[in-house]
């Protein structure tokens, strides 16, 4: 299986941008091995495999490493039934959600990320990082950090993210929409807000 044009374009963009990497205690296992072998990330691994991303995630000796923010199984279990159904049946939606958690070309250590950093995901979205006592991706908390492999790092997050233009995020004030180009929200049980309802249209 060959890398998709989307993945190759992100690789090229990352090389041009000249991202720096920070490796911490990497072992020979790839990020794909770490995801696939961890029972708590089986759902994400299944979706990534369905989308043909396994080979790219399993590639050794990358010049530009992966940084993955992987929702655990519990995060997928918390999704409303309608969104679970859309993930199962809408390949375009599934690709956007899964690739929004994948970054190629970033500091691999959570300690190397801080407030003001912005990462570009494989889906082409920009994530603004906020670091307090824990590392936050907007309102999504990293619960387990620095699972480092030979070609990048995995950080586990507590919920499934949806990245969107800030102007479309009904939770933000006008000044916040102007300040941040993109925002990420945590998809959880409730369908009570306008944001969740918009995903199902």
Q: What is the pLDDT of residues 77-134, one digit of tens each?
A: 999 888 899 999 999 999 999 999 999 877 667 777 766 677 888 888 877 777 666 6
Distance CA 122, CA 66 (A): 10
Query: What does the alpha-carbon distance between residue 15 and residue 152 come to, in Å, rounded to a whole number?
Result: 15
Other beta carbons less than 10 A from residue 121's beta carbon: 23
Q: Smallest Cα–Cα separation from 67: which of 145, 164, 169?
A: 145
Are 157 and 178 in contact by the 8 Å Cβ rule? The answer is no
Give the Cβ contact number of residue 2 at 10 Å: 9
Q: 7: closest CA among 61, 54, 77, 76?
A: 54
Question: How many C-beta atoms surround the C-beta of residue 192 within 10 A?
Answer: 9
- Sign of the C-alpha dihedral, residues 40, 44, 49, 54? negative
Q: Return the pLDDT at 49.
A: 96
CA distance 191 to 74: 17
2, containing H or E segment: none
User: Contact, 126 vs 14, CB < 8 A?
Assistant: no
What average pLDDT score do residues 132-137 get? 66
Q: Is the pLDDT of residue 7 over 60?
A: no
CATH class of the region 21-199: mainly beta
Q: Which stretch, 43-52, 150-159, 179-188, has highest mean pLDDT?
A: 43-52
Is the whole model's pTM more than 0.85, yes or no?
no
- Residue 72 scores a pLDDT above 80: yes
Instruction: Please give the Cα distance from 136 to 114 (Å, whole number).
Output: 9
pLDDT tens digits, 175-196: 877 877 777 778 876 555 555 6
191 sits in which H/E element: none
């Amino acid at each position: 299986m060959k890398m998709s044009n989307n993945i190759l374009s992100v690789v090229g963009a990352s090389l041009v941008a000249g991202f720096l990497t920070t490796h911490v205690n990497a072992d020979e296992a790839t990020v794909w091995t770490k995801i696939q072998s961890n029972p708590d990330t089986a759902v994400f691994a299944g979706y990534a495999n369905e989308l043909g991303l396994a080979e790219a995630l399993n590639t050794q000796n990358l010049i530009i490493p992966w940084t993955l923010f992987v929702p655990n199984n519990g995060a997928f279990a918390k999704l409303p039934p309608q969104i679970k159904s859309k993930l199962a049946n809408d390949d375009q939606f599934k690709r956007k959600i899964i690739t929004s958690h994948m970054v190629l070309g970033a500091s691999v250590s959570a300690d190397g990320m801080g407030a003001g950093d912005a990462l570009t995901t494989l889906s082409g979205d920009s994530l603004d990082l906020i670091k307090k006592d824990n590392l936050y991706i907007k309102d999504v908390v990293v619960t387990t950090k620095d699972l480092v492999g030979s070609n990048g790092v995995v950080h586990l997050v507590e919920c499934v993210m949806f990245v969107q233009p800030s102007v479309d995020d009904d939770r933000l004030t006008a000044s916040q929409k102007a300040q941040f180009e993109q925002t990420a929200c945590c998809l959880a049980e409730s369908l009570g807000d306008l944001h969740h309802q918009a995903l199902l249209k």
